[in-house]
Amino acid sequence: MASEAGAGEAQGTFRERVLALVARIPPGRVMTYGQLALLAGQPGAARQAGYVLNTLAGGGELPWQRVINAQGRVSTHKLGFGDMQERLLEAEGVTFDASGRCDLARLQWWPAEEDAPPERLL
């Protein structure tokens, strides 16, 4: 027990920390890129958070679709799979505005100690 620290602290590279956070987002909830960067120990590095997800290329079991921008919109439209991301979120209960926005104030999720980190997804 000595080695590991308490609640979701930084470990490994920025990339690892971001992926670990994304893996913990519950279904039907979302996090923003800036939020990920902040919790990963790099406030303001929202672009890098997005870059990390880009390298995944929709890879694996990681719920990448639960990461959206600060406007409450998916940032993947220009990449071509924005529609798919919205669809995946809708399947989890997230509703989008006519202008493609969701209620961030209600859906944005923040990690808590009581949440069990699903290492399975890592």
CB of 27 to DNA, least distance (A): 16
CA-CA distance, 58 to 88, in Å (whole number)? Answer: 12
CA-CA distance, 69 to 53, in Å (whole number)? Answer: 13
Instruction: Give residues 57-116 in contact with DNA (rule: CB under 7 A).
Output: 57-58, 64-65, 67, 69-71, 74-76, 78-79, 85
CA-CA distance, 75 to 115, in Å (whole number)? Answer: 27
CB of 111 to DNA, least distance (A): 16
**Cα–chain-centroid distance for residue 69?**
10
CB of 106 to DNA, least distance (A): 17
Bridge partners (DSSP) listed for residue 118: none
Contacting positions for DNA (CB under 7 A): 13-15, 32-35, 42, 44-58, 64-65, 67, 69-71, 74-76, 78-79, 85
